[in-house]
Amino acid sequence: MKWHEITISTTEEAIEMISNFLHEMDADGVSIEESGTLNKQRDTSLGQWYEHPLNDIPEGHAVIKGYFSELDTDVEALTTALITRIDELREFDIEPGEYTITKAMVDEEDWANAWKTYFKPIRVSERLTIKPTWEEYMPSPDERIIELDPGMAFGTGTHPTTALCLRTLESVIKGDEEVIDVGTGSGILAIGAMLLGARRVLALDLDPISVTSATENTRLNNLQDDIQVYLSDLLGVLNSDQKLNVTVPVDVVVANILAEIILLFIDDVYAALKPGGTYIASGIWKNKEEAVEEGLQAAGFTIIDRQRDQDWIAFVAKKPE
Ligand SMILES: C[S@@+](CC[C@H](N)C(=O)[O-])C[C@H]1O[C@@H](n2cnc3c(N)ncnc32)[C@H](O)[C@@H]1O
């Protein structure tokens, strides 16, 4: 099936109103891309999580796209109505700038895959490179390749929190560890841990789309015998009678989840680790740094390192021997 894609290049301040207009005009889908800055503070009050692809949109600008069925859309009438409504924004002190509107026809397939344009091989740490499955790449002899098709799941490696975890795993994994990856998303950290020398990884996520994606990526990297992917709310699966591929307590737990969630289950992580085990806690925006630091210490952990990327922090904490 084909779709009309209406693209509006405008200012950031006009995003909310223009995307509302598109919804009111019965768009079947609306996508918003802002400038490639990755460090903006976002509303995470409902647990929302944002991953922006890098792009070439200037700071303060945005590109909004609305998708309308080719079957029942009068695209000329729709564009005229849209221009009228955008021009009216100035009366409400919202400046859409010198906006442009362009129209195109796209296949459903193109629409679902548009984000892939920005996802290129990226060397994320000394030894690890993330390679989208559809890209050609010749690694150097010391590089280990994470083959990835994240689909709708989080975890392309372009987000600072993922990169922080992979770099930290590189210093923590010495060989033969059993690891639990909580909130595995695309499975990227589980795969990274295996490539760095871990023996086995239990990869958990609450979201069925992530479980499917992580399972597929595990297969793409030929690690299906070493990584077990489960649908689990945090460490919930450890309390079930499910047969697991790791023996709890384990050597390493890694979690790249929002600070609010990290704080919820620190005691469970502590219990799931061997004495001397390591907890890599990431996904922490700078305004929650102190709270997580206090939470880790209150649970009994010793903080041995903290890494930063932009305004994000990853803690490396040890359970005493
Ligand atoms: C920021 S993404 C991290 C993905 C990947 N590990 C990475 O580092 O790029 C957070 C993941 O945690 C999962 N998640 C959120 N709450 C969860 C919960 N209560 N239990 C398990 N997974 C959860 C989300 O579905 C999402 O896949």
Three-class HEC string of the chain: CEEEEEEEEEEHHHHHHHHHHHHHCCCCEEEEEECCCCCCCCCCCCCCCCCCCCCCCCCCEEEEEEEEECCCCCHHHHHHHHHHHHHHHHHHCCCCCCCEEEEEEEEHHHHHHHHHHHCCCEECCCCEEEEECCCCCCCCCCCEEEEECCCCCCCCCCCHHHHHHHHHHHHHCCCCCEEEEECCCCCHHHHHHHHCCCCEEEEEECCHHHHHHHHHHHHHCCCCCCEEEEECCCCHHHHCCCCCCCCCCEEEEEEECCHHHHHHCHHHHHHHEEEEEEEEEEEEEHHHHHHHHHHHHHHCCEEEEEEEECCEEEEEEECCC
Atom of ligand 1 nearest to the CA of 155: 9
Q: Considering only CA atoms, which residue is closest to atom 14 of ligand 1?
A: 183
pLDDT band with cut points at 50, 70 and 90 for residue 37 = very low
Separation of CA 20 and ligand 1 centre (Å): 28
Average pLDDT, the chain: 87
CATH number at 2-116:
3.30.70.120
For residue 42, the model assigns a pLDDT of 43
Determine whether the annotation assigns residue 256 to a binding site: yes
pLDDT band with cut points at 50, 70 and 90 for residue 150 = low
pLDDT band with cut points at 50, 70 and 90 for residue 38 = very low
Separation of CA 155 and ligand 1 centre (Å): 9
Determine whether the annotation assigns residue 175 to a binding site: no
Separation of CA 298 and ligand 1 centre (Å): 24
Domain ranges of the chain: 2-116, 119-318
Separation of CA 266 and ligand 1 centre (Å): 15
Atom of ligand 1 nearest to the CA of 181: 6
Q: Among 3.40.47.10, 3.40.50.150, 3.30.1540.20, 3.10.450.30, what is the CATH number of 119-318?
A: 3.40.50.150
Predicted TM-score (pTM) of the model is: 0.72
Residue 156 Cβ < 6 Å to ligand 1: no
Q: Considering only CA atoms, which residue is closest to atom 9 of ligand 1?
A: 155
Share of the chain above pLDDT 90, in %: 55
pLDDT band with cut points at 50, 70 and 90 for residue 58 = confident
For residue 229, the model assigns a pLDDT of 98
Determine whether the annotation assigns residue 239 to a binding site: no
Separation of CA 257 and ligand 1 centre (Å): 5
